[in-house]
């Protein structure tokens, strides 16, 4: 009896919380929908409501966001869990790709909206609302890219440290191995990072791009070191190098 009452009380609390949350959730969904209501977009020769065109990708984004929240919740309890960290990286990459797809659709609609506004097919208010939706989506995309970049740079330090030790085992005794991150001109599926390996194989020399300073034999040994460190992450059972010298 006590268990039944306790379960019933928990059930009541869940629904009470949902009752208070539903107006907030409805308001957020309604805000997005109202922004683009009445706007159409032509994609692949087919004209459809922008709301309809975005329905699929919005569903994917929502699902990814929910999964990310769940993973982040579990990571607070176990920050070093490698499975959860791998899931978070994949989900963030998914979020970047999905949000990028949404932004592309919105920008296509915005190009067509210029003509629609001039012809009086949509109001200035609708046009401005579409621009706000684009701005918000760009902000979301940047947020996901920044999170991906933060994780990538964190693990880049571990990677370069491990590769440096592997290179020393291959007779690069005074080696420095680093990663430098530039920025791409546009958003990509991997965010906006443009990574490059840098290396110095002689004492006192500054690090330079790997491809510009390493000879053929050195490059083979360097790639061997990188692949050895990454072997646990790759689905490659055998590593073959045609030109590995003994130093």
pLDDT (0 to 100) of residue 34: 62
Between 138 and 232, where is the model more confident? 138
Do the bridges between strand 46-49 and strand 40-43 make them parallel or antiparallel, or are there none, so unpaired? antiparallel
pLDDT (0 to 100) of residue 185: 87
Between 180 and 10, where is the model more confident? 180
The pTM is what?
0.73
How far apart are alpha carbons 97 and 52 in whole angstroms?
Answer: 19
Give tens-digit pLDDT for 104-162: 999 999 999 999 999 999 999 999 999 999 999 999 999 999 999 998 888 899 899 99
Q: Kindly tell me if the per-residue pLDDT of 70 is higher than 80.
A: yes
> What would the DSSP string read from start to end of 62-78?
HHHHHHHHHHHHHHHH-
Q: Kindly tell me if the per-residue pLDDT of 59 is higher than 90.
A: yes
| Mean pLDDT for the chain overall | 81
Q: Kindly tell me if the per-residue pLDDT of 180 is higher than 70.
A: yes
Q: List, in sequence order, every beta strand (DSSP E) within 87-238.
A: 176-188, 191-200, 208-209
Q: How confident is the model at residue 232 (pLDDT cuts 50, 70, 90)?
A: low
Q: How confident is the model at residue 1 (pLDDT cuts 50, 70, 90)?
A: very low
How far apart are alpha carbons 171 and 245 in whole angstroms?
Answer: 10
The number of beta carbons lying within 10 Å of the beta carbon of residue 94 is 18
Q: How confident is the model at residue 218 (pLDDT cuts 50, 70, 90)?
A: confident
């Amino acid at each position: 009896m006590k268990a039944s009452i306790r379960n019933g009380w928990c059930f009541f609390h869940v629904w009470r919380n949902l009752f208070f949350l539903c107006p907030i959730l409805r308001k957020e969904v309604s805000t997005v929908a109202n922004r683009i209501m009445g706007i159409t977009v032509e994609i692949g020769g087919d004209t459809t409501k922008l709301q309809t065109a975005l329905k699929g990708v919005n569903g994917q984004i929502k699902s990814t966001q929910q999964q990310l929240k769940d993973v982040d919740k579990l990571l607070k309890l176990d920050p070093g869990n490698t499975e959860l960290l791998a899931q978070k990286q994949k989900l963030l990459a998914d979020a970047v790709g999905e949000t990028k797809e949404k932004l592309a659709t919105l920008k296509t609609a915005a190009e067509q909206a210029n003509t629609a506004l001039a012809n009086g097919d949509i109001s200035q208010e609708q046009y401005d609302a579409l621009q706000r939706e684009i701005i918000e989506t760009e902000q979301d995309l940047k947020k996901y890219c920044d999170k991906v970049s933060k994780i990538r740079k964190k693990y880049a330090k571990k990677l370069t440290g491990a590769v440096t030790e592997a290179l020393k085992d291959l007779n690069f005794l005074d080696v420095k191995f680093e990663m430098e991150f530039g920025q791409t001109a546009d958003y990509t599926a991997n965010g906006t990072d443009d990574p490059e390996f840098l290396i110095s194989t002689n004492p006192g020399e500054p690090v330079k791009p790997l491809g510009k300073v390493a000879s053929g034999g050195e490059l083979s040994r360097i790639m061997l070191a990188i692949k050895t460190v990454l072997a646990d992450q790759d689905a490659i059972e055998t590593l073959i190098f045609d030109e590995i010298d003994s130093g």
